[in-house]
Structure 1
Amino acid sequence: MASYLHSLRHRRRKRRSETAGRGGDQRVAVIGLGRFGSSLASELMRRGWDVLGLDTDARLVQKYSDALTHAAVADCTDGEALRQLGVNEFTSAVVAIGTDIEASILVSTNLLEADVPNIWAKAISRQHGQILERLGVHHVVLPEHEMGERVAHLVTGRMLDFIQFDDDYALVKTVAPTVATGVPLGQSQVRSRFGVTVVGIKRSGEDFTYATAETVVQRGDVIIVTGRTHAVEAFAELS
């Protein structure tokens, strides 16, 4: 353990000097290497981040040890274990623990007490998410719920993609309805009539471009629309 910690700190110092030249701390601790945590850790590695993966399951740690910058078996419900691994020195940490709500809460509490500046935590229910928010976790995500809601919008409507921000604001990708075609957007009065804003447009065979008041949307164009969730839902249903 001592030799591992020495090696880990040495590599951290080296990596810190490298990332400093790129204008930011690109280190993150991912706690929990299940499907969500391992997928997140792999994507962060692909983006050039220094990822420390932690889990109580030695098999998972062994499985991902070659794919991550560092990986270790650790019970992160123990604040001392986090301190020994230097997680308190990280500016970002993700609690990706799956079904063990108690462990999720304890780990999040330890990270908060260690003053880690940016903490993300996975929640498995809205109640779990509310507890994490009350603790002071900076970012709470409900991946299963959010993905289910997103797919429901795609299945039941004409939307090609749907992303919701906060509780009542969304961004939608959809085929342009007739009411938005044939005249410049500034004349179609889409914003005043429907409460939405067209921010992007893609024509067949072309790349997405920003939409302006002078943009003329044509039949069959794919557009990106933002606005209140109920407004973009209703707009996307227009033919």
Structure 2
Amino acid sequence: MARKPAVSNRIAVLGLGRFGGSLAVELMRLDWEVVGIDSDPQVVQTYADQLTHTATANTTDEIALRQLGVHDMAHAVVGIGTDLEASILTTGLLADLGVPNIWAKAVNRQHARILERVGAHHVVLPEHEMGERVAHLVTGQILNFIEFEEDYALVKTRAPEEAIDKTLADSALRAKYGVTVVSIKRPGEDFTYATANTTVYAGDILIVAGKTRQVEAFANRT
């Protein structure tokens, strides 16, 4: 029998702990239909009025997930962190059910590798990634840090002295540091796109993109 098309605007969040619960609520704010599933009835009750639908179920039970329609959804997130066996089995079951986009939370890199092997399309390590981000904020001039891949990042940083009262073309930051200034914010104003003719002034905040080591080096020179 032909499989029905997956429902693209519905998502199942399996495991409503701190990570899964906050993710589910934010997805609701973004106008998604969210089915929240957890094995703990008290946790499920907490989110009963905040999500589209909630259910108490064993996430490793194929029949239960089918009854909840998880197999017909285009997206699912496994937010289980403390029970590694349940995390892995749930992820593998979602893969067997043919869910097209499976996101899973991992507690360490070994756990992440296993999740990828059993079928997760995307794996996140929230604690590890937040630790890296905070380290950048604590130790340097970086005001915000987002790493997209292992070697590419965006940073929010103060304008360097060498660029003050010059256009970006004249300061040649890209040539010197291998980074691109993509946006600029004046005090009291919103961020705007930066061009080669944009002049940088004292107090400006820059959004800079480039290889991780290069943007780190650039930010730490400001």
One-letter amino acid of the structure 2 residue matched with residue 217 of structure 1: V
Map of 1:197 onto structure 2: 180
Three-state SS of the structure 1 residue aligned to 2:8 is: coil
TM-score of the two chains, using structure 1 as the length reference: 0.88
Q: Could you say which structure has the higher helix fraction?
A: 1
Map of 1:120 onto structure 2: 103
CA distance in structure 2 between the partners assigned to 1:39 and 1:189 by the alignment: 42
- 1:219-238 equivalence runs, <5 A: 219-238=202-221
Map of 2:147 onto structure 1: 164
Structure 1 runs of 4+ aligned residues shifted over 3 Å read: none
CA distance in structure 2 between the partners assigned to 1:59 and 1:90 by the alignment: 25
CA distance in structure 2 between the partners assigned to 1:196 and 1:174 by the alignment: 12
Q: Give unmatched runs, 5+ long, in structure 1.
A: 1-23
Deviation (angstroms), 1:134: 2.3
Give the counterpart of 1:52 among 31, 35, 38.
Answer: 35
Deviation (angstroms), 1:132: 1.3
Deviation (angstroms), 1:167: 0.6
Map of 2:13 onto structure 1: 30
Deviation (angstroms), 1:116: 0.5
Provide the aligned length of Structure 1 versus Structure 2. Answer: 216
Three-state SS of the structure 1 residue aligned to 2:166 is: coil
Three-state SS of the structure 2 residue aligned to 1:36 is: helix
TM-score of the two chains, using structure 2 as the length reference: 0.94
User: Cα deviations across residues 207-239 of structure 1 (Å, max 9, x unaligned)?
Assistant: 100000101111210000011111111100113
User: Cα deviations across residues 161-204 of structure 1 (Å, max 9, x unaligned)?
Assistant: 00111111110000011122222111211111101000000001
One-letter amino acid of the structure 2 residue matched with residue 121 of structure 1: A
Q: Give unmatched runs, 5+ long, in structure 2.
A: 1-6
Q: CA RMSD in A?
A: 1.1
Q: Could you say which structure has the higher strand fraction?
A: 2
User: Cα deviations across residues 109-142 of structure 1 (Å, max 9, x unaligned)?
Assistant: 0111111111110001011111112223111111
Higher relative contact order (CA 8 A, sep 6+): 2
Deviation (angstroms), 1:82: 1.0
Deviation (angstroms), 1:45: 1.0
